Structure 1
């Protein structure tokens, strides 16, 4: 099992946009943040889920990766995953995989971006959102979406949930 941890703020923003298209969420972003913090959204409560995997991080069959590490050095993460899976790749294969697996390539890939499904949802009237399944993929993009007060609330919430766990999230 491979677990990828993204910071709570970016996860919230991403889930908000996903919920608009996939679940027809129509509330405000501020309301969604409150629901996220309360653990009342899909895939929540966030820290309970994350920490349930973190507690098992030493198991042989579990690899724990931070999203930021993957974004900072995709080739290194490909090598790490390959090692975890007992595979080896040449540098040329790593380069090709890096090109294929980078966010912009994945965003354009119909096998990954689910655009056909979302076209059907829009056409049926289930959702009016024009967001795509893979939207920005940037680390720290929450800074342009969350208010300074909400950022502070997320930081405090994360600190409270991470006390004594040994887990840090950038």
Structure 2
């Protein structure tokens, strides 16, 4: 992913420029009861998305915002390059000839027509809940890597992200943000509902769930598991290369080339348990209660190891 991502960088720069001339109340719009950023999504794009035709060999990454989708995108892009006998990071990498923004719901309504011309395997990323994805994704039986992260760190990372990115409403205080996060006023919807909806698909053979924390704990094993799921054989040398290139330090260092000015906002800490610097006791208990009500006891709930990562 070191090659300059002109489409992506251009899209972000354009969105930031547009957001700078908008009022805070104009930054978001609602579609089917969920908020989205006006500068990168549109009702027209969502309408066009319904007719998107997924392919059986599409490589799909699903994750809520601030769960680590950019990190896993790096890993998957490199794995696809290896599967095509290409060198990760080279000009001949994935979709180099006809680059398209991989986030499915981001961009103009014509992108899906352009995507029909992309060579397989296409790499697709989405923050959408399953019920808002095009039906063809599930009909095609394409493999989906579902990425989840402990909710307290998601909220913490999201707070800093909102305050760094002009395309999203900013917050004067963490308390204000926390209130909105718990009242389902976030872009891409409520995280607990997101987990709850995806949990209905957790047993499907073509869906593999991985947590941000487990990849952080053992990157080599995480990469190995992802490669196995997508049927990509790796040599020890290739494995180490992917792990190295997807380290936080390496991605941050290359972020100017891969993400432009957006990289400074995107790559902040990349750690675990940063929530302890923001949550007060009452907020911590409120989130514990929400977790219990929505997702504890389910397959995804257990996978998150909530007691390990979210209890002080």
State TM-score, norm by structure 2: 0.47
Instruction: Report deviation, 1:24.
Output: 4.2
Query: For residues 56-113 of structure 1, what are the alpha-carbon distances to aligned partners after superposition, in whole Å with 9 as ceiling and x for unaligned?
Result: 1222332210111010011111111101111010111111111111122122222786
Contact 1:70–1:77 (CA under 8 A) maintained in structure 2: yes
Mapped to 2, the partners of 1:148 and 1:50 lie a distance apart of 24
Mapped to 2, the partners of 1:35 and 1:115 lie a distance apart of 29
* Count of aligned residue pairs for this structure pair: 158
Q: Determine if the alignment matches structure 1 residue 88 to structure 2 residue 233.
A: yes
In structure 2, do the counterparts of structure 1 residues 8 and 113 end up closer, same or farther at CA, with 3 Å as the change threshold? farther
Mapped to 1, the partners of 2:266 and 2:146 lie a distance apart of 20
Mapped to 2, the partners of 1:87 and 1:112 lie a distance apart of 27
Instruction: Report deviation, 1:132.
Output: 2.2
Aligned counterpart for 1:12 among listed residues 155, 180, 199: 155
Bigger Rg, which one = 2
Alignment partner, residue 133 of structure 1: 266
Structure 2 unaligned residues grouped into runs of 5+? 1-143, 306-312
Mapped to 2, the partners of 1:57 and 1:92 lie a distance apart of 32
Q: Which has the higher contact order (CA 8 A, sep 6+)?
A: 1
Q: Runs in 1 of length 4+ with deviation above 4 angstroms?
A: none
In structure 2, do the counterparts of structure 1 residues 114 and 106 end up closer, same or farther at CA, with 3 Å as the change threshold? same
Mapped to 2, the partners of 1:114 and 1:47 lie a distance apart of 29
State TM-score, norm by structure 1: 0.83
Contact 2:192–2:290 (CA under 8 A) maintained in structure 1: no
Alignment partner, residue 74 of structure 1: 219
Spell out the pairing of 1:33-112 with structure 2 (5 A cutoff). Answer: 33-110=178-255
Contact 2:159–2:177 (CA under 8 A) maintained in structure 1: yes
Select the structure that is richer in helix.
1
Select the structure that is richer in strand.
2
CA RMSD, 1 decimal: 2.0
Instruction: Report deviation, 1:21.
Output: 2.2
Aligned counterpart for 2:284 among listed residues 130, 142, 151: 151
Query: For residues 32-65 of structure 1, what are the alpha-carbon distances to aligned partners after superposition, in whole Å with 9 as ceiling and x for unaligned?
Result: 1111111111122111112222221222332210
Mapped to 1, the partners of 2:186 and 2:251 lie a distance apart of 26
Structure 1 unaligned residues grouped into runs of 5+? 119-130
Contact 2:215–2:222 (CA under 8 A) maintained in structure 1: yes
Q: Determine if the alignment matches structure 1 residue 27 to structure 2 residue 160.
A: no
